[in-house]
Structure 1
Amino acid sequence: MQMIIVDDEAHWVDNLAMTKPWHTLGIEQVHKAYSAREALQIIDTNPIDIVISDIQMPEMTGIELIERIRKRDKKIKCIILSGHSEFDYAKKALQHNAVDYLLKPPTDDEIIGAVKTAIEQLNTEWELISSLKRTQFTLRENLPLLRGQLLLDALQGHQFQAGEWERKLVTYDLPFHSGDCALMLVRMEEEFSHYNNNDQTLIEYAIINMAEEIMGEFMQVWGVKEEHGYLVFLLQLKEKGSDIGKETILEKLSLQLQYKVKQFLKGSLSIVITEWFQFPEKVSSRFRQATAYFRQIVGDEREFVMRVSEFEPSTTQGPLDALYTPPTLIHLLESGHWDAAEEKLLAVCAELDEKWSESWEHCMEAGFLITASFTNLAHRNGHTLANLAGDDLGWLQSGEAFSTIGKLRKWSLSILSKLKEGTSNEIKDIRSEYVKKIQDFTDKNLHLDVSLRVLADHVNLHPTHLSKIYKIETGEGISDYISRLRMDRACHKLKTTSKKVYEISMEIGYMDPAYFIKVFKRQFGVTPQEYRDNNK
């Protein structure tokens, strides 16, 4: 856990932060803030769990600080310190769900006891949120969606680590196991095309329910709608089996589904059934085989039930699997996963070498898709592939890039490297531009509110993200920069003008001159007036 101590009296903050055994309570880090505004900046950029704050501070009271905190995060626990035992303060603190209201100076037992109470409250709340029962309830509510996505992942060829399939099947309460399975692809025909989107979804849901009802006596049924519009069912025979052969019973039940849908939903179905295969290893390949069967054999035919095994596809040609297996190259490029994109290109070229070394068409297919992905990324970032590719563009224009697998490998990896370099430079330029905007805005508005949230709104970024960008580019935090700028400007004005200290205080953003004097003395060891006198 992380805690912050807030007080305009530095000795209180330093004493509480440095002399108490916070680590024994599980507090990993104790932040220090000498004003409410500084505290809010720290809270915006760090996962603060507990706030200990003085109630009487210049610019913003502890109660106002709690109000601001509640707008950011209702789970942060707040403890109030006060030199006054006024009932109104205590009442307001309780209204804002403060854990405790302690009088200064609190004893060790009081302050540590209050923090323990805050920790207990946090643990109770988060245990409820993350409890197994609550997680299981949420899981049950979302099971249909999660199950459907898992089957879609399998159909698309997502690779799972050893044991991952078994874990997911148990977690999602799916009664499937490694072994023989079949796929049934269902195409809804034109009678269903007049339904609007909502009604279409209901019809699809009804067909899935009917399939589970009809086939559920003999088989485990797991259905989903995939991206091309097919309803896909993974089927596995139950242990008790049947006297009828599994091919026969599957065809019989498919015909029954087709008939019942026609009878009650007034629409026709076309159905393709795969041969039995090993689950989960062969799911993706059998799915591609079944969709190819729909395209090549079924065509425009309607209201049939056919088995894929009746069709012997040509073995002289086939798809380039590595190119289309998720995650695709364009997705890897868009997400900035450069190493994975390089592995994808190498895998494509390796498959070309192994299976299609004599096929110019496969090399061309890979080259066109790789080029399209590169071009898409360049255009998304406001560039052209020609500008980024440089001399390598000539290979593409002449057709040399796709003439051999070796040249395709060399060309695509070279372009990938240039895209990565160009994107990295662009990111750096964007970060530098954000820093410049922040510094320009702060320089012109130092006398106003230049808190992290205001600066983040100015450049349309989240405060945490802006804080990280600024730290990466400059090596210092935004609050450190603002404090340094204020002190530098104060010193300059004290040395070069005759303005009053309170006027300088207002001009650099300190509404309370007494607080400005306190901060200045903590920074330089002298008051502003003493600094001015020493530099005459």
Structure 2
Amino acid sequence: MQMIIVDDEAHWVDNLSTTKPWHTLGIELVHKAYSAQEALGILDAYPIDIVISDVLMPEMTGIELIEKIRERDKKIKCIILSGYSDYEYTKEALRNQAVDYLLKPPTDNDLFSAVRSAIDQLKSEWENITSYERMGNILRDNLPLLRGQLLQSALRGERLSMEEWERKLENYSLPFNFGNCALMLVRMEEEFEQYRNKGQHLLEYAIINIAEEIFGDFAYVWGVKDDYGYLSILLQFKEESLGIGIDMSMEKSAMQLQSKVKQFLKGTLSIVLSEPFPFPDRLSDRYRHAVAHFRQIVGDEREFVMRASDLDNSMSCGVLDTVHAPPGLKNLLEAGRWESAEEKLSHIFAELEAKWSYSWEHCLEAGYMIASSYTYYCHRNGYMLEGLLEQDFQLLQTGEAFASIGKLRSWSFDALGKLKERASEDVKDIRSVYVKKIQRFVESNLHLDVSLRALADHVNLHPTHLSKLYKYETGEGVSEFVFRLRMETACHKLKTTDKKVYEISAEIGYLDPAYFIKVFKRQFGTTPQEFREAHEQPNRVL
């Protein structure tokens, strides 16, 4: 957990943050803020859990600070410290859900008791959110959706390890196991078109339920509406039903499904049944074949039950599964997932060598897809692939890159390395641009709001992201830069002008001159006026 202590009196902040054994309560990091604005900047940059704040501070009271905190995060726990036993302050603190209201100086027992109470409240709230019972209820409520998404992903060709399949089948209470299955593809015919924008999803749900009822005597049923608008229903035969005319039972049950839907839902169905296949390895293959059967073989026929012939008998060739399986190479490049892109290429070439080592056309198919993804990425980012690859681009122009699997592999990985290197340079340049933009804005607007949130709004970044980006690029935090620039500017003006201290205070963003004097003295060990007198220049230009 992380905590912040806020007080305009530095000795309170320094004493409470450094001399108390907060680690014994599980507090890993204690931040210090000497004003409410500084505290808000820290809250934007760090995951703060607990705030201990003075109630009376310049510019913003502790009560107002809590209100600002509540706008950002309602879970942060706040404790108020005050030198005044004022009922109105107490009432306002409680109204804003403060954990406690302690009088200065608090005893260690009182202070630790208040923080311990805040920690207990946080733990209780988060345990409730993350409780197994709550998660179990959420899982049960969303089970149909999760099951459908899992089957949809498998139909698209997304691959899971056997361990992941086992875990998800168990978590989703699906009685399927690795072994023979069949796929039934159902097309809802034109009678259902009238419901397209008014309740068609309920009819789809009803059809899958009817299928579960009819096929459930001899098979487990798992269905979803696919990307092409078909109802894809996976069937796995129960052990006690094996060897008793499964093929006949499937066709008979499919015709019964048609009949019941026509009788009760007033619409017709066309159905294609696949041959048995090992689940989950061949699911995507059989699904694509069934879709092709609908499109190419069935044509305009309707209200039929048809069995798709075995893939080996109907297809003399096939596509590269890995090339077209999501996530696509283009999407991985756009997302900057370079390791995943390398892994994608490795899988593509592994499949080429294992299945299509004799086929130049498949090598060409993979090469065109890879080159197209690279070209798209370059154009999307404002430069040409030819300029990036230089000599290697000629291999693409002449077709030599596609001459063999080995040459294509070499060209693809070399080109990917250059894309990655260019992206790294672009990111570094972008960071530098943001840093310069922030510094120019602060230098020109030091007298205005230059809090982390204001700077983030100026460059259209999230405050946390901006804070990390600036720190990574400069080694200095944003608030540290703003504070340093204010102090340097104050010193310069004190040494080179006759402006009043309150004028300098306003010009560098401190509306309260007394607070500026306090901050300046804490930084340099002397007041602004004493600093000016110590650096008096006889020939100063006004």
**What TM-score results when the alignment is normalised by the length of structure 1?**
0.95
Q: CA deviation at 1:341?
A: 0.9
Partner of 2:256: 256
Question: Is 2:166 the counterpart of 1:166?
Answer: yes
Deviation at 1:314, TM superposition (A): 5.1
Cα shift readout 1:276-306 (whole Å, capped 9, x = no counterpart):
2333333223323333333443333322222
* Residue number in structure 2 paired with 1:457: 457
User: Counterpart in 2 of 1:206?
Assistant: 206
Deviates more, 1:253-262 or 1:93-102: 253-262
The answer to whether residue 326 in structure 2 is matched with residue 317 in structure 1 is no
Deviations 1:196-219 (A, max 9, x none): 344433332232222222222332
Tell me how far apart the structure 1 counterparts of residues 32 and 493 of structure 2 sit (CA, whole Å).
Answer: 29
Match of 1:302 in 2: 302
CA separation in 1, counterparts of 2:265 and 2:385?
Answer: 52
State the one-letter code of the partner of 2:417: S
The farther-off stretch of 64-73 and 153-162 is 153-162
- d(CA) in 2 for partners of 1:487, 1:532: 13
> Take 2:535 and 2:228, find their aligned partners in 1: how far apart are those partners?
78
CA distance in 2, matches of 1:43, 1:310: 63
Aligned to 1:184, what secondary structure does the other structure show? Answer: strand
- Greater shift after overlay, 294-303 or 472-481? 294-303
Query: Does 1:75 find its partner at 2:95?
Result: no
Q: From the superposition, tell whether residues 353 and 181 of structure 1 become closer, same or farther in structure 2 (CA, over 3 Å).
A: closer
Residue correspondences, number: 536
Query: Partner of 2:241: helix, strand, or coil?
Result: coil
CA distance in 2, matches of 1:156, 1:502: 69
Task: Compute the displacement of 1:240 (Å).
Answer: 4.5
Query: Who is 1:379 aligned against?
Result: 379
Give the equivalent residue in structure 2 for 1:402. 402
Q: Quick one: distance in 2 between partners of 1:274 and 1:476?
A: 64
Q: How does 1:349-364 map to 2 (within 5 A)?
A: 349-364=349-364
Q: CA deviation at 1:402?
A: 1.8
Equivalent residue for 1:115? 115
**C-alpha distance in structure 2 between counterparts of 1:394 and 1:192, whole Å:** 54
2:476 is aligned with what amino acid?
Answer: E
Cα deviation for residue 400 of structure 1 reads: 2.1
The amino acid across from 1:518 in the alignment is K
Bigger shift: residues 224-233 or 344-353 = 344-353
Distance 2:312 2:366 in 1: 26
SS of structure 1 residue aligned to 2:261: helix
Aligned-partner residue type, residue 511 of structure 2: M
Map 1:133-148 onto structure 2 (within 5 A).
133-148=133-148
Whole-angstrom CA distance in 2 between matches of 1:312 and 1:239 = 27
Distance 2:192 2:368 in 1: 37
Moved more, 335-344 or 267-276: 267-276
Q: Which moved more, 1:203-212 or 1:483-492?
A: 203-212
Q: Which residue of structure 2 lines up, in the alignment, with residue 494 of structure 1?
A: 494
| Structure 1 unmatched runs, 5+ | none
CA distance in 1, matches of 2:11, 2:94: 27
In the alignment, the residues of structure 2 paired with residue 148 and residue 387 of structure 1 have an alpha-carbon distance, to the nearest angstrom, of: 45
Residue 391 of structure 1 is matched in structure 2 by: 391
Identity across the alignment (%): 66
Q: Which 10-residue stretch deviates more, 420-429 or 286-295?
A: 286-295
Report the counterpart of residue 183 of structure 2 in structure 1: 183
CA distance in 2: counterparts of 1:488 and 1:66, whole angstroms: 32
Give me the whole-angstrom Cα distance separating, in 1, the residues matched to 2:180 and 2:374: 41
Report the CA distance between 1:322 and its aligned residue: 1.9
How much has 1:239 moved relative to structure 2? Answer: 4.8
Q: 1:163 to 1:413 in 2, by over 3 A?
A: closer
Which amino acid letter does the alignment assign opposite residue 169 of structure 1?
Answer: L
Q: Secondary structure at the match of 2:32?
A: strand
Equivalence for 1:275: 275
Contact 2:275–2:310, Cα closer than 8 Å, also in 1: no
Aligned-partner Cα distance in 2 for 1:313–1:245: 23
CA distance in 2, matches of 1:195, 1:188: 11
2:191, 2:267 within 8 Å by CA — same for their partners in 1?
A: yes
Match of 1:519?
Answer: 519
How far 1:38 sits from its partner (Å)? 0.9
SS at match of 1:313: helix
Alignment match, 2:529:
529
Deviations 1:444-482 (A, max 9, x none): 111011111111111111111111111111111100000
Q: CA deviation at 1:434?
A: 1.2
CA distance in 1, matches of 2:336, 2:53: 42
Tell me how far apart the structure 1 counterparts of residues 241 and 351 of structure 2 sit (CA, whole Å). Answer: 40
Distance 2:99 2:380 in 1: 50
1:44 and 2:44 aligned: yes
Distance 1:412 1:242, change over 3 A: closer
RMSD: 1.9
Aligned partners of 2:243 and 2:388: how far apart in 1? 66
- The amino acid of 2:269's aligned partner reads L
| Deviation of 1:195 (Å) | 4.0
Deviates more, 1:258-267 or 1:423-432: 258-267
State the distance in 2 between where 1:194 and 1:362 align. Answer: 43
CA–CA distance in structure 2, aligned partners of residues 216 and 349 of structure 1: 42
Pair 369,310 (structure 1): closer, same or farther in 2 beyond 3 Å: closer
CA offset digits 1:42-67 (Å, max 9, x no partner) = 11111111000011111111111101
Distance 1:354 1:276 in 2: 24
SS of structure 2 residue aligned to 1:59: coil
Name the CA shift for 1:433/1:20 in 2 (closer, same or farther; >3 Å): same
Give me the whole-angstrom Cα distance separating, in 2, the residues matched to 1:521 and 1:356.
77
Are residue 126 (structure 1) and residue 151 (structure 2) matched?
A: no
Which residue in the other structure is 1:332 paired with?
Answer: 332
Query: Where does residue 151 of structure 2 map in the other structure?
Result: 151
Residue 96 of structure 1 corresponds to which residue in structure 2?
Answer: 96
TM-score (structure 2 length as normaliser): 0.94
Q: Provide the C-alpha distance between the structure 1 equivalents of 2:462 and 2:507, rounded to a whole number of angstroms.
A: 28
Q: 3-state DSSP class of the match of 1:300?
A: coil
**Contact kept? 2:219, 2:238, Cα under 8 Å:** yes
User: What amino acid sits opposite 1:416 in the alignment?
Assistant: L
CA spacing shift, 1:46–1:310, aligned 2, 3 Å: closer
Query: Residue 439 of structure 1: SS of its match in structure 2?
Result: helix
Opposite residue 17 of structure 1, the aligned amino acid is S
Give the whole-Å Cα distance in 2 for the aligned partners of 1:452 and 1:229: 49
CA separation of 1:394/1:242 partners in 2, compared to 1, >3 Å: closer, same or farther? Answer: closer
- Helix, strand or coil: the match of 1:236? strand
Post-superposition CA distance 1:71-94 (Å, at most 9, x none): 000010000000111111111111
**Hey, what does 2:540 align to over in structure 1?**
none
Q: What is the CA-CA distance between 1:353 and the residue it aligns to?
A: 2.6
Aligned to 2:369: 369
**Cα deviation, residue 132, structure 1:** 1.4
Aligned to 1:448: 448
- Which is further off, 160-169 or 40-49? 160-169
* Cα deviation 1:216-239 (Å, max 9, x = unaligned): 233221101111222111112335
- Whether the 8 Å contact between 2:449 and 2:509 is mirrored in structure 1 is yes
TM-superposed CA distance for 1:124, in Å, is: 1.1
> Conserved in 1, the CA contact under 8 Å of 2:182 and 2:274?
yes
Q: Could you say which residue in structure 2 is the equivalent of 1:413?
A: 413
Distance in 1 between residues matched to 2:313 and 2:291, nearest whole Å: 12
- Structure 1 residues 307-351: Cα deviation after superposition (integer angstroms, max 9, x where no partner): 234664356422112212232212211221112212222322232
Once the 2 structures are TM-superposed, how far is the Cα of residue 425 of structure 1 from its aligned partner? 1.7
The one-letter code matched in structure 1 to 2:463 is P
Instruction: Quickly say closer, same or farther: Cα 1:431–1:132, change in 2 above 3 A.
Output: same
Rounded Cα–Cα distance in structure 1 between residues aligned with 2:86 and 2:310:
88
